[in-house]
Amino acid sequence: MSVRLQPGDPAPAFTLPDADGRPVSLADHAGRKVIVYFYPAALTPGCTKQACDFTDNLELLAGAGYDVIGVSPDKPEKLARFREREDLKVTLVSDPDKAVLTAYGAFGEKKLYGKTVTGVIRSTVIVDGDGKVERALYNVKATGHVAKLIKDLAVSGSEG
């Protein structure tokens, strides 16, 4: 069973390739809060809904000082197709060896249709500007998660 992060833990550092193969590091975002979300697979219904929800709320989150990084085991080429097909604006990075997923507690045993399987645990970790875990949410739902996150983080924008 992977170890789950707790508030106050140092967020594991990472550098992973984005959809264009460029390296993205958590350290690049020092001084800003980062929502790092982990999802099982690009181009699947739930993961598409979640990525679109983050994209739809990206300006609101950025305005509140949050950057968003989505992590999956998909290769960069698949992430690029996902981004193009869904017009995604969130940064998507590739973790094919699952080292970062494991370090964040987002890979391990989970229940799927009543069976115990090993795989990606849909998770969201909020990292503060100092690189510490502010919140760690595991087994989140794909649908409605972003709206709940915005409410829980008390992020508000001007509704127009």
Q: Catalytic residues, which ones?
A: 47
At which residue do the structure tokens 């998660």 appear?
Answer: 145
Q: Which residues pair with 9 in a beta bridge?
A: none
Tokens encoding 89: 């604006």
Give yes or no for a contact between 21 and 52, defined as CB atoms under 8 angstroms apart.
Answer: no
Closest by Cα among 8, 43, 59, 37 to 122? 37
Inter-CA distances, 48 with 6, 12, 66, 111, Å: 27, 26, 20, 21
Beta strands in the chain (DSSP E): 15-17, 23-25, 33-38, 66-72, 91-94, 107-112, 115-120, 123-127, 133-138
